[in-house]
Structure 1
Amino acid sequence: MSEKPMNPTRRQTLALALGGAALPVAARAASQPGEARPCSAPVPQWRTGIEGQRRADLGDGRYLNPVLGGDHPDPTVLKDGADYYAAFSSFLYYPGVPIWHSRDLVNWAPVTTALTTNIGTVWALDIAKHGGRYFIYIPVLSPDGDARPLRTYVIHAPSMRGPWSEPIDMHIDNLIDPGHAVGEDGKRYLFFNGGKRVRLRDDGLAADGPIEHVYNGWPIPDDWIIEGFAMEGPKILRKGGYFFQFVAQGGTAGPPTSHMVTVARSKSIDGPWENCPHNPIVRTADRDEPWWSRGHATAVEGPDGRWWLIYHGYENGFRTLGRQMLLEPIEWTADGWPKATGGDLSRAMAMPGRGGGQSGQALSGFGPEAIGNKLTFFSPIGDYRKRAQIEAGRLTLTGQGSGPADCSPLLFVAGDRSYEIRVEVELEGEAEAGLLLFYNEKLFCGLGLAKDRFQAYRIGQRERWPEGAPTSARRVHLRLVNDENVVTFYHSLNGVTWTKERSFEVAGYNHNVADGFLSLRPGLYAAGNGRAMFRALTYHA
């Protein structure tokens, strides 16, 4: 594994190093408020790890954000002895609820995906440990037309590694972003968006009381440029005789200055709640900062005894990567309030622990655990796991639907600004299959192989002017080069000599354009009446 400083702006040298022609430099100037503008701060220098992916641990006792690159939204973190576990919103990607593990809050590795049954769109959740058992509380947006569109489920397990139970409907409706807490009387509660709270049964599996309103939030100044008040994501910490609520406000996306972390405290779980005098403790103040819309924080004690905030944010100019996981140190003031000390996160900071160990995961190849830990289906139906078989390093995927939009493609999270992906595709029957960058069923681009031609897609539609190149091949190599949101697709009969099919600009393939809180993920698709065999998947940043 390469461990050397990474130049994150390798736009023209990237393609040459990978055997292609030099790519044009993508325009980065902003024309509208809230869009990407060149940062005035020096370009950060990450270390490279697996497959050239950028690595937060710099190897010299310092780290550089993000600690977990790519789409890891709404992180919730549990400290369990010397271990830390994080879980994230998984929306319509299944298997869902990915769980990652760390010993130092900087180097993270995947453990499992805890939810296999498709129960709807999974939003911001919460991990808890109580009585020696582990719980994950899951808010779900049910399909359109459901009489209970927002439901809260819970799953539980003897270990964070599972096995996890089937989801249990808690019959707590129309609330999101649960945060588990145990009061001074030992009773369990879930706090929710909008300052709401519900007492739980002692087993933590159902409500044991009505929905109560217990907190009004921090009043955001009227002249701040935000998406909306949007008080959500409460995480409860008990420390020093107080209960602290770490709350997200301002809106998850929208303008870069929207999202923020506010804090309130109380000596009782029942309140009253006092707002921190220096709220918000975290906020993007200017769109020139490297990280936008920072919020949805969990406070956790690090292995060195210092305290930290873990939250998400968009990278300036790279909303396509989704909300990435960030780590910021905090101090406790003399009067007992937390104070964030990381500034705009542009600089490297001292590690919470010794560092080292596995960081990230390999995205190349098809190992036996690839489905779930790496590859997830978008909006699958039925027993979706039967569609994919992995054997001897080959993925066989049964076709479904008429194209990428309705075939439930297999996708993975990429956390690099620029990368290349190659894969070999072979068709069987009347299938169409290929390589995608996929936001949702209406917004994607890609290149596939059909029975008599290559099929190109842009902005969720099949390209017809011109159509893809004709071919009689049933087995081809496909290649994708994403150069800072300018993507070029290639095809080859032998994997050596490549023909450029076409290029697209994809910076607009993000939540502020298409809604849904998702990210632009690379992946594979198989549609039609047949199957596709995928071999030799390679990823390199």
Structure 2
Amino acid sequence: MATFKNPVIPGFHPDPSVCRVGEDYYLVTSSFDYFPGIPIFHSRDLVNWRQLGHVLTRESQLPLKGQLPAGWSQGIYAPTIRHHDGRFYVITTNISIQKSFYVWSERPEGPWSEPIFLEGWGGVDPSLLFDEDGKTYLTGTTNFYGEPVGIYQAELDIESGKLLSERRLIWEGTGGSHPEGPHLYRINGWYYLMVAEGGTEYGHMETIARSRSAYGPFESNPANPILSNRSTPKPIQATGHADLVQAADGSWWCVFLGIRPVANAKRHILGRETNLAPVSWNEEGWPAVGNHGIAELEHDAGNLPLGEPVEWGIRDEFHSDKLHSVWNFYRNPVPESWSLKERTGWLTLRGQACTLNDKESPAFIGRRQQHKNIQVETLLDFQPSVDGEEAGLAVFMNEKFHYEIAKTRKDGKSKLLLRRRIGSIVQVTAETDYDEPMVILGIQANEVLYTLTYAAPGKEPVVLGQGETAFLSKEVAGGFTGVYFAMYATGNGKNAVTPAYFDYFDYLPMEDKPMDFFTIMSLS
């Protein structure tokens, strides 16, 4: 029996949505504060996903300059991908500007169109159904203006983005909090409405209802929820925000988000990840996901034509004139803050006045932490000429929760420092003189600790300090993202004069060896 393991896309890849075109599958996830926005993946087996790039690659498609309250993530929430009449459509909400929109392309790798904004909509988590009769239904959640909580729907003119009917409340869910992430399907003459409830935390669940009419009334599945790992000891928790897809062989599958907490600590650092499970249908025509509604770490692959596993570890030596698809900026980058051409084979960062502590866009290029046990390394060539200039390697959750090891200049001397920011507490916990122009900066992570190191080229690494993973967990830091490893530079209040050059970046996943509860408690 062939099996596969979850998550199928590890690390911060929440709110997955999937569609099939022939024997090819395409999947998108939320990207929140990061740019480019909406990573898009391709698979031939639903298990092994390779990133094609991003849907939103231009600032005109994804402005990220909004200022939301502390603890919120900005940017892109809950995209849906669908294919119709030769076009791919991705519909979503940019919470920074509080507008929903869609883009389209004839090729999944793009380029994608400019946004078509939904006139008169106002809700979040929008989804599309291209019905058999030629109508297009827009389904989403409560708007920004205080209307009753529930799932709303209208008919949409897909060419213009205008509503062809009034917004109508079609279902309030089963009573769980925050009914959201709806998808409407037409299957065997029924309209099925699938919804996430319970909040995207440990009470998360997926429920479903059906009707003979697109607008209901909707009959709730008597066996709801069809997916939830709440109140179980399963290693995957907070399962929900799902999307259904029928495979080429006729079988049904479900992609959904979930988290992998650290042992029994009920905290997680990798963010909400993309998982997969089979879907079974009972004699009454109701679906159940996974093992009778439970998502497992390992599931039977059925007849899926399993291909070669994806290699998540990479060494990027920056020889291309384009960034690899794993990289993101934090919000919209300042164009002159980075370059792959200024020094051939190196990534150049030019520090801006803003720092990692600010709700702006620092000189920052990072990638998701996708594994609990991991080694990261980069070679930095940086000779700061002005006090306060700084460049280094960060473990970054958001502007209020991050650790960094960096080279800087202080009182005319070149130094290495380790800084930790935990909420309102900012402290340089270690500092040492360092006169060499080049330094190898490293991070080793396990479930409990980040260990930050430095080394002169050809020398053994030296530990400069550590930081607990717990303080960068979503449960402490808030928001909806996961941890990033990032190369960064800053002038600490003014634009830096000296560029920082990064020669390579290694991301090396280690063998997954989960710690037991007592080991974690002894190290915490």
On the 8 A contact 2:396/2:483 being kept in 1, the answer is yes
Distance 1:271 1:353 in 2: 34
Distance 1:350 1:129 in 2: 25
Distance 1:138 1:535, change over 3 A: same
On the 8 A contact 2:197/2:206 being kept in 1, the answer is yes
Matched, 1:323 2:272: yes
Selected match of 2:308 from 354, 357, 377: 357
Look up the match of 2:504.
536
On the 8 A contact 1:374/1:412 being kept in 2, the answer is yes
Matched, 1:463 2:427: yes
For residue 508 of structure 1, give the secondary structure of its aligned residue in structure 2.
helix
Look up the match of 2:447.
484
Matched, 1:100 2:36: no
Alignment of 1:6-155 (within 5 A): 61-116=2-57, 117=59, 118-120=62-64, 121-142=75-96, 149-155=97-103
Matched, 1:281 2:226: yes
For residue 506 of structure 2, give the secondary structure of its aligned residue in structure 1.
strand
For residue 539 of structure 1, give the secondary structure of its aligned residue in structure 2.
strand
The Cα shift of 1:454 comes to 1.2
Matched, 1:238 2:186: yes
Look up the match of 1:269.
214
The Cα shift of 1:507 comes to 2.1
Which AA in structure 2 matches 1:85?
Answer: Y
Distance 1:185 1:204, change over 3 A: farther
Range 176-185 or range 230-239, more displaced: 176-185
On the 8 A contact 2:378/2:506 being kept in 1, the answer is yes
Look up the match of 1:179.
127
Matched, 1:397 2:349: yes
Selected match of 1:412 from 345, 367, 370: 367
Distance 1:183 1:302, change over 3 A: closer
The Cα shift of 1:401 comes to 2.6
Distance 1:352 1:462, change over 3 A: farther
Which AA in structure 1 matches 2:55?
Answer: A
On the 8 A contact 1:94/1:372 being kept in 2, the answer is no
Distance 2:136 2:98 in 1: 22
Query: Can you list the C-alpha shifts for 1:91-148, whole angstroms capped at 9, x where unaligned?
Result: 0100111100000000000001111223231110111222211111120112xxxxxx
The Cα shift of 1:304 comes to 3.4
Look up the match of 1:440.
398
Look up the match of 2:338.
387
Query: Can you list the C-alpha shifts for 1:397-451, whole angstroms capped at 9, x where unaligned?
Result: 2211343324252111222110001110011554411111101111101101112
> Kindly, what percent of the aligned residue pairs are identical?
29
Distance 1:195 1:408, change over 3 A: farther
Query: Can you list the C-alpha shifts for 1:308-363, whole angstroms capped at 9, x where unaligned?
Result: 11101011216100011111111111111112233340444235512123515443
- CA RMSD, aligned part only? 2.1
Distance 1:61 1:197 in 2: 40
Distance 1:93 1:176, change over 3 A: same
The Cα shift of 1:218 comes to 1.4
Distance 1:115 1:369, change over 3 A: farther
Look up the match of 1:472.
435
Which AA in structure 2 matches 1:76?
Answer: S
Look up the match of 1:337.
286
The Cα shift of 1:154 comes to 1.4
Matched, 1:508 2:471: yes
Distance 2:152 2:323 in 1: 37
The Cα shift of 1:178 comes to 0.8
- Any gaps of 5 or more consecutive residues in structure 2? 65-74, 142-149, 510-524
Look up the match of 2:249.
304
Distance 1:307 1:453 in 2: 57
Aligned residues: 463
For residue 320 of structure 1, give the secondary structure of its aligned residue in structure 2.
coil
For residue 112 of structure 1, give the secondary structure of its aligned residue in structure 2.
strand
Which AA in structure 1 matches 2:427?
Answer: E
Query: Can you list the C-alpha shifts for 1:237-270, whole angstroms capped at 9, x where unaligned?
Result: 21111111111000012xx2x1101011111212
Which AA in structure 1 matches 2:198?
Answer: G
Normalised to the residue count of structure 2, the TM-score between the two structures is 0.84
Distance 2:268 2:162 in 1: 37
- Any gaps of 5 or more consecutive residues in structure 1? 1-59, 143-148, 221-228
Matched, 1:164 2:164: no
Query: Can you list the C-alpha shifts for 1:251-305, whole angstroms capped at 9, x where unaligned?
Result: 012xx2x110101111121211111110001111325211111001111112432
The Cα shift of 1:512 comes to 2.3
For residue 412 of structure 1, give the secondary structure of its aligned residue in structure 2.
strand
Distance 1:422 1:242, change over 3 A: same
Matched, 1:427 2:374: no
Alignment of 1:356-375 (within 5 A): 356-357=307-308, 359-365=310-316, 366=318, 368=320, 371=323, 373-375=325-327
Matched, 1:219 2:187: no
On the 8 A contact 1:289/1:316 being kept in 2, the answer is no
The Cα shift of 1:206 comes to 3.2
Distance 1:488 1:296 in 2: 34
Distance 1:367 1:219 in 2: 54
Which AA in structure 2 matches 1:433?
Answer: A
On the 8 A contact 2:204/2:230 being kept in 1, the answer is no
Query: Can you list the C-alpha shifts for 1:165-203, whole angstroms capped at 9, x where unaligned?
Result: 122322345311111013454211210022111321142
Selected match of 2:166 from 210, 214, 232: 210
For residue 497 of structure 1, give the secondary structure of its aligned residue in structure 2.
coil
For residue 460 of structure 2, give the secondary structure of its aligned residue in structure 1.
coil
For residue 335 of structure 1, give the secondary structure of its aligned residue in structure 2.
coil
Look up the match of 1:16.
none
On the 8 A contact 1:375/1:412 being kept in 2, the answer is yes
Query: Can you list the C-alpha shifts for 1:22-46, whole angstroms capped at 9, x where unaligned?
Result: xxxxxxxxxxxxxxxxxxxxxxxxx
Which AA in structure 2 matches 1:463?
Answer: Q
The Cα shift of 1:370 comes to 5.9
Distance 2:308 2:345 in 1: 26
Which AA in structure 2 matches 1:432?
Answer: E
On the 8 A contact 1:93/1:379 being kept in 2, the answer is yes
On the 8 A contact 1:265/1:273 being kept in 2, the answer is yes
For residue 180 of structure 1, give the secondary structure of its aligned residue in structure 2.
strand
Which AA in structure 1 matches 2:381?
Answer: E
The Cα shift of 1:373 comes to 0.9
Distance 1:206 1:126 in 2: 18
For residue 269 of structure 2, give the secondary structure of its aligned residue in structure 1.
helix
Look up the match of 1:226.
none
Which AA in structure 1 matches 2:63?
Answer: I
Distance 1:84 1:456, change over 3 A: same
